[in-house]
Amino acid sequence: AQTVTQSQPEMSVQEAETVTLSCTYDTSESDYYLFWYKQPPSRQMILVIRQEAYKQQNATENRFSVNFQKAAKSFSLKISDSQLGDAAMYFCAYRGPGGSQGNLIFGKGTKLSVKP
């Protein structure tokens, strides 16, 4: 069965600095998607970024980028120029090839604090 592991329960970053959140996963599939979701105190789940496993190029969305290492099954999220509004829980998620594997499998999350 696929698993997603986030080894950092909590992280802290100074405003305007850069922080990297770690995620590893386990799967026997070769084709899949990986996601980072943000959950602020409002509890809304907000998609931050997604990565297609068959694409070697790392995804970027403004200040958010990923370091996808397929062989190592690693998928880290880098937040540049951190802002106070980035404070939230961040969840790494895996999605299989589709069909009966279309649901998301989440890690336990990393709580990010941003210090002014």
Partner 1 sequence: DSGVTQTPKHLITATGQRVTLRCSPRSGDLSVYWYQQSLDQGLQFLIQYYNGEERAKGNILERFSAQQFPDLHSELNLSSLELGDSALYFCASSVRGGTRKETQYFGPGTRLLVL
User: Contact positions toward partner 1, by CB under 8 A?
Assistant: 31-33, 35, 37, 42-47, 50, 52, 91, 95-109
β partners of residue 93: 35, 106
Query: Rounded to the nearest 5°, which phi and psi values hold at 86?
Result: -80, -10
Q: Taking the complex as a whole, how short is the minimal distance between the CB of residue 86 and partner 1, in angstroms?
A: 18
**Eight-class DSSP state of 57:** S
Which residue number, 56 or 100, has a Cβ lying nearer to partner 1?
100
Backbone torsions φ then ψ of 69, nearest 5 degrees: -120, 95
In the complex with partner 1, which residue's Cβ is closer, 6 or 82?
6
Specify the residue, 13 or 92, whose C-beta has the smaller distance to partner 1. 92
Alpha carbon 44 to chain centroid, angstroms: 16
Minimum separation from the CB atom of position 13 to partner 1 (A): 23
